[in-house]
């Protein structure tokens, strides 16, 4: 990985780097000042192209970045930072967006946990309503836009109480004519918050229900002070997910059911849309009998097989009994 930009260095003769606010294996995020617009601060996401890849692949990656970053630049929602510019320098691509001040929700969880309390459910539901609005907006685009890295650390709470879903580093665009997705910026998300289908990286099929799983995992963490069991752990141990109300008895049953619904292992068992999940959270109707959080793809696949094997075994048993009772007696051989 290339070294980060130093403070006071310039990008595109316009953006003055103030400091590095985030760094990972694929690049860095900077706070910068836009020198053309006095007083405007922005966040700049830097993505590094692997210099070891063939030149043709580098060219394809850069073209894909430019094409899809232009779609991000057209997004306009109060709970999303506005993307205002994108460009390339050397083997690095840059995405410029609003700099969002305030704490992220991971900090709010840590603060609550250190004080041995839970964030009030009503307060979390207010945040989630804003988050659902942002995700519904993304998913309603043509083609739909997936975030793929929803987690408390990527959700900012501004001083005036506005929620912002930040870091477009793992956004994906679903092509409208094909049942697959294409990556904007490479990445695989964070283990506690991603569904099993996302472990395949770019080879795994993800859709809006993958974001719904991550939203459910984020809601679980916000309300229990603990992240949920990872999907790969739950695949091997279907009972690994601790019921939310076991950790926070103050939670309502409806919220617990909403969380377990969103955290269903198989995408088909999750809410079909963010709006469906939000409607369930605020509904006054009697609680529905949702699939239990113990249910998983493993169980749903094994149970029918076991039933079939049981039926075969029962049939063989009945057949053997009939043979025993109705077969002609054969005299013993002396």
CA distances from 146 to 215, 218, 313, 330 (A): 12, 16, 47, 73
Task: Measure the CA–CA gap between 333 and 239, rounded to whole angstroms.
Answer: 58
Hey, which residues does 20 pair with through a beta bridge? 30
Q: Do the beta carbons of residue 218 and residue 108 sit within 8 Å?
A: no
The DSSP annotation for 87-151 comes to: EEETTEEEEEEEPPPSEEHHHHHHHHHHTT----HHHHHHHHHHHHHHHHHHHTSSS-EE-----
Largest CA distance in the chain: 112
**What domains can be seen in the chain, in order of their start residue?**
12-98 (3.30.200.20), 103-282 (1.10.510.10)
pLDDT value at residue 149: 87
Using DSSP, state whether 17 is helix, strand or coil. strand
Q: For position 99, what pLDDT does the model report?
A: 94
Cα 274 to Cα 208, 213, 232, 261, 280, distances in angstroms? 8, 10, 23, 12, 10
**Residue labelled with tokens 């002396």:** 334
Give me the residue label for tokens 């409607």: 279
Q: What is the set of active-site residues?
A: 149
Residue 200 is predicted with a pLDDT of 67
Give the C-alpha distances (Å, rounded to integers) separating 54 from 5, 50, 59, 203.
25, 9, 9, 20
Phi-psi region of 143 (alpha: psi -120 to 50; beta: other; left: phi over 0): beta
Which pLDDT value is given to residue 28?
Answer: 86
Q: According to the model, what pLDDT value does residue 143 have?
A: 84
Buried b (16+ CB within 10 A) or exposed e, 136-169: bbbbeeebbbbbbbbbbbbbbbeeeeebbbbbbb
| Model pLDDT, residue 2 | 63
Residues forming a β-bridge with 163: 157
Please report the pLDDT score of residue 176 as a whole number: 42
What's the Cα-to-Cα distance from 1 to each of 17, 28, 51, rounded to whole Å?
A: 19, 10, 10
pLDDT under 50: residue ranges of the chain: 170, 175-188, 292-314, 316-334
CA distance 163 to 91: 33
With 0-12 / 13-18 / 19 or more C-beta atoms within 10 angstroms meaning exposed / middle / buried, residue 194 is buried
What pLDDT, in 10s, does the model give residues 5-25? Answer: 899 999 999 999 999 988 766
Residues paired with 98 in a beta bridge = 42
């Amino acid at each position: 990985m290339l070294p980060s930009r130093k403070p006071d260095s310039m990008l595109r003769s316009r953006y003055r780097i103030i400091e590095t606010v985030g760094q990972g294996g694929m690049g860095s995020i900077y706070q910068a000042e836009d020198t053309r617009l006095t007083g405007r601060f922005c966040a700049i996401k830097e993505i590094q192209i692997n210099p070891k890849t063939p030149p043709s692949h580098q060219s394809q990656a850069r073209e894909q970045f430019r094409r899809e970053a232009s779609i991000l630049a057209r997004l306009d929602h109060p709970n999303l930072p506005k993307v205002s510019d994108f460009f390339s320098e050397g083997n690095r691509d840059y995405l410029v967006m609003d700099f969002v001040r305030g704490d992220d929700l991971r900090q709010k969880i840590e603060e609550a946990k250190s004080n041995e309390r839970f964030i009030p459910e009503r307060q979390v539901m207010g945040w989630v309503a804003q988050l659902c609005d942002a995700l519904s907006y993304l998913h309603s685009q043509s083609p739909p836009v997936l975030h793929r890295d929803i987690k408390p650390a990527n959700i900012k709470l501004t001083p005036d109480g506005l929620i912002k879903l930040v870091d477009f580093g793992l956004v994906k665009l679903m092509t409208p004519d094909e049942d697959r997705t294409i990556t904007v910026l490479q990445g695989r998300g964070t283990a506690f918050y991603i569904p099993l289908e996302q472990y395949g990286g770019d080879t795994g099929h993800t859709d809006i229900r993958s974001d719904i799983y991550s939203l459910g995992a984020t809601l679980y963490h916000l309300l229990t002070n603990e992240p949920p069991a990872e999907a790969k752990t739950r695949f091997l141990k279907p009972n690994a997910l601790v019921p939310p109300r076991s950790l926070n008895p103050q939670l309502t049953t409806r919220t617990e059911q909403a969380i377990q619904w969103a955290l269903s292992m198989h995408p088909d068992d999750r809410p079909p849309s963010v709006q469906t999940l939000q409607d369930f959270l605020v509904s006054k109707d009697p609680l529905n009998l949702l699939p239990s959080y113990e249910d998983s793809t493993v169980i749903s696949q094994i149970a029918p097989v076991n039933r079939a094997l049981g039926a075969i075994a029962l049939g063989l048993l009945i057949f053997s009994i009939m043979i025993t009772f109705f077969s002609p007696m054969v005299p013993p051989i002396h």
